[in-house]
Structure 1
């Protein structure tokens, strides 16, 4: 059992594990603590959203809906591996579940998977999982066909490991919603046993901090290092037929480097249909589908592209 991580501790733990974090406005004070206990914490629960599209999924999980107000989790893990933090405190994500499963998670003494759950929200003897688990929703339709991109699965692994590392838990403190309630099937499309294996491997090989560069007699101070500067997202309205900018050229070159080129000539500074088709290929490479892969740049896909800064 553990005291919940503070907002600052959560962000620090995730970033230390290599997670790309986006802090949704208001997330630090967004919770359902007035409805019940939040802690002590015993584990991490993984879900799928049954939605597509990062922006709409984050918005839904933040606000919830009439029958189930938000936050519906603590973070949303997008297809590109970005983690959007939306809640800090009690969240409506786990609901009622099996106390026998909770005991095994606390003891971390089960085999490949916890015992099959025999309880759910509203059943006699169910335990309130919202008080005991961090919850992360992963953008996926949950139909068994919607793909799980490598970036997203790696982010789930990193998020889970980060929280386990912060609390001193093993990978057996991470379960799926389907392992908690006999009425749930999420996450669907990969096995929790395989995820726990990945988490255990990561926890057993903590990255060492980089060694300092010692000064030399001819260099009294360590050599400076420079961090690559990336072009901030200029906004969706930037990309129009009338726009001409070196930013668009830099974007096109990155798309070519990523193997997402629909150019016959170029790329050049003016936004064209070839730019749009190339960017749509990039969105599909990240795992976006439908309207989310229309070739119009958005914040998440732009950040992942890492367009070099232009003066």
Structure 2
């Protein structure tokens, strides 16, 4: 049980843990606090968005479920977009037995009847994913999810058992669509050492690099490709992944000794790690 952090303290805690943060508008005062007090807080709840246009949805919500729908959205590239702070419409009613287990950091029981308002008791974060079992979670996104969770656990003196899934809170939900045992294992490992800001961007996954993808990560990668003498840009590089980026990355792959289909311009983990794209 803890008093919620101030917005500034939360942003500092995330950045200390190496989270790449983007702040949107009046996020520090955008909340649902008029519906009731927020806090004391007992843990972190993770969700998946199960839709498209996630940033706008998380910030504004819908007519039936007004925003903000979370504190932050974890994008595919690992950026955590802060869209609200305080009471948010993320958890809804859930199990009093689960809340009791989180408070004592005990093993979670199966969720019982919906009886307790989780919006008042948890930090809520949405993870961009369709939740259909086919939409991947890139490593950069999982990395950001465990880092943000560890940041709050470290600050409040919690263990990884204070991080739960929406699907563990209520029988009505299935999100997020990954193993929480694995995620809590990652968080526990991170909490076992001092926070470190890794100097290079983790590989976001090959599926990240599709035509039209927009991210500052793409600009930063292009800058590194130019520095390595592999830039094939007439203009740029810029934040939108396109043919010039693909040709530039293919040149980098050939520079590393790849050929044929292995030099198709789609980043792979080994070539990405050797490119050493600085953290944004």
Fold match (TM-score > 0.5): yes
Q: Does structure 1 residue 115 correspond to structure 2 residue 109?
A: yes
Distance 1:178 1:35 in 2: 24
Distance 1:66 1:279, change over 3 A: farther
Q: How much does 1:270 deviate?
A: 3.6
Give 1:46's aligned residue: 46
Change (3 A) 1:166 1:270: closer
TM-score by length of 1: 0.68
Corresponding residue to 1:194 among 170, 182, 186: 182
Question: Which residue is equivalent to 1:254?
Answer: 224
1:183 aligns with 2:172: yes
Cα deviations by residue, 1:261-302 (Å, 9 ceiling, x for unpaired): 8xxxx6143479xx82244799xxxxxxxxxxxxxxxxxxxx
Q: Hey, what does 1:86 align to over in structure 2? A: 83
Please report how far the alpha carbon of residue 21 of structure 1 lies from its aligned counterpart in structure 2 after TM superposition. Answer: 0.5
- Given candidates 128, 147, 155, the residue that maps to 1:158 is 147
Root-mean-square deviation over aligned CA pairs: 3.1
CA distance in 1, matches of 2:166, 2:18: 25
Partner of 1:7: 7
Give 3-state SS (helix, strand or coil) of 2:242's partner.
Answer: helix
Q: Which runs of 5+ in 1 are unaligned?
A: 121-125, 210-226, 228-247, 283-303
Are the equivalent residues in 2 in contact too, given 1:77–1:138 (CA < 8 A)?
yes
Can you give the 5+ residue segments of structure 2 that lack an aligned partner in the other structure? 200-217, 249-275
Q: Which residue of 2 aligns with 1:293?
A: none
Asked whether the 8 Å contact 2:93–2:116 carries over to 1, the reply is yes
For 1:39 and 1:249, the matched residues in 2 are separated by: 40
TM-score, length of structure 2 as denominator length:
0.75
Deviations 1:163-184 (A, max 9, x none): 0111111100000000001010
Aligned residues: 231
Offset of residue 13 of structure 1: 0.4
- Hey, what's the Cα distance between the residues in 2 that align with 1:271 and 1:307? 19
Shift of 1:2: 0.4
- Give the match for residue 130 of structure 2: 141
For residue 51 of structure 1, report the CA deviation from its aligned partner. Answer: 2.0
Aligned partners of 2:91 and 2:119 also within 8 Å = yes
CA contact (8 A) 1:37 1:131 kept: yes
**Which of the two has higher C-alpha Rg?**
1
2:242 alignment partner in structure 1 = 276
